[in-house]
């Protein structure tokens, strides 16, 4: 009895950021996780530096604070194009902010600035700021929002995770990124072909960095705009592993998944080194 009482605080001290039950393949592929989710709209008129958006967050506060992620849409797109990611990721134990950009034509570096402005709003001014652990933040984005994700990671190394989804950027070299990054490409992408975008993005990330490259099979540039279990499964695992330091999710990332009907290629440095 005495050892059991003594062991519990030690486990908590090892990782106080774990949220939710031990994961299974089914739990990370499910359309919803274990947390009930609420949402609140943020008007563009009430913020500066980005175009407003929707915050999805776990309804209950009993588990403590949560890590948070801002997600940018792509060129000419609105937050509706990435809205499916909001409740899906939030229900796994995160605060998720899907944003609109100032204009739909904003370029990647502008989207980077807007992602960071959204995180600042989320942690400093939003109505749910007390639910967020400000030390555990990440960024995601589609297309030019994916390019913006890389730039945001380069500009703010304190971030814990970055996930560009079929990212587009004229800059092909990302050796200055210090944030664990999962690059997601699509084998049928003709707008941001993996040979000239996602693969160079991944290859130029520092070799010492926790990084991974997932190439979706039978997918296009617009695949991230619809509910997609493969994107969700590995994005959730990445966010859990690096924002929450939750090594229970390492099993889904290392050893790297094999090629399959859904995965054309998966590369990464295993085992991961970030604590």
Report the Cα 263 to chain-centroid distance in Å.
19
Q: Which of 100, 189, 210, 244 is catalytic?
A: 189
- Tell me which residue of 66, 229, 40 sits closest to 138, measured CA to CA: 66
133 a catalytic residue: no
How far are the Cα atoms of 158, 161, 268 from residue 180, in angstroms, in the given order? 10, 5, 11
Q: Which of 169, 197, 221, 272 is catalytic?
A: 221
Distance CA 125, CA 191 (A): 36
109 a catalytic residue: no
Q: Which of 81, 91, 126, 143 is catalytic?
A: 143
| Helix (H) and strand (E) counts in the chain | 7, 9
- Tell me which residue of 116, 93, 119 sits closest to 21, measured CA to CA: 93
Distance CA 129, CA 168 (A): 31
Cβ contact 168:147 at 8 Å: yes
Q: SS3 helix, strand, coil % of the chain, rounded to 5?
A: 35, 20, 45
143 a catalytic residue: yes
Classify strands 53-58 and 94-99 as parallel, antiparallel or unpaired. antiparallel
φ, ψ for residue 3 (rounded to 5)? -70, -35
The DSSP letter of residue 72 is: E
The secondary structure of 133-155 as a DSSP string is: EEEEEEEEEETHHHHHHHHHHHH
φ, ψ for residue 104 (rounded to 5)? -70, -10
- Return the H-helix or E-strand segment holding 39: strand 37-42
Residues acting as catalytic residues:
143, 189, 221
């Amino acid at each position: 009895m005495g050892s059991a009482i003594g062991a519990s605080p030690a486990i908590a001290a090892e990782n106080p950021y774990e949220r939710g039950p031990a994961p299974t393949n089914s739990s990370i592929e499910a359309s919803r996780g274990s947390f009930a989710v609420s949402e609140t709209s943020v008007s563009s008129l009430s913020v500066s530096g980005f175009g407003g958006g929707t915050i999805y967050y776990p309804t209950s506060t009993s588990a403590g604070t949560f890590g948070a992620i801002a997600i940018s849409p792509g060129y000419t797109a609105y937050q509706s194009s990435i809205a499916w990611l909001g409740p899906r990721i939030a229900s796994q134990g995160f605060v998720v902010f899907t944003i609109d950009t100032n204009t739909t034509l904003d370029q990647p570096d502008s989207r980077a600035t807007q992602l960071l402005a959204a995180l600042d709003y989320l942690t400093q001014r939003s109505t749910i700021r007390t639910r967020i652990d400000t030390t555990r933040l990440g960024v995601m984005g589609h297309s030019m929002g994916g390019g913006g994700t890389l730039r945001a990671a380069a500009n703010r190394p304190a971030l814990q995770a970055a996930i560009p989804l079929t990212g587009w950027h004229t800059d092909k070299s990302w050796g200055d990124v210090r944030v664990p990054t999962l690059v997601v490409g699509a084998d049928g992408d003709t707008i941001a072909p993996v040979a000239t975008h996602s693969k160079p993005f991944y290859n130029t990330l520092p070799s010492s960095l926790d990084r991974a490259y997932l190439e979706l099979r039978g997918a296009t540039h617009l695949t991230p705009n619809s509910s997609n279990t493969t994107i969700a499964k590995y994005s959730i695992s990445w966010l859990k592993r690096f924002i929450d330091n939750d090594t229970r999710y390492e099993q889904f990332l290392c050893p790297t998944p094999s090629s399959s009907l859904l995965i054309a290629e998966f590369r990464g440095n295993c085992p991961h080194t970030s604590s």
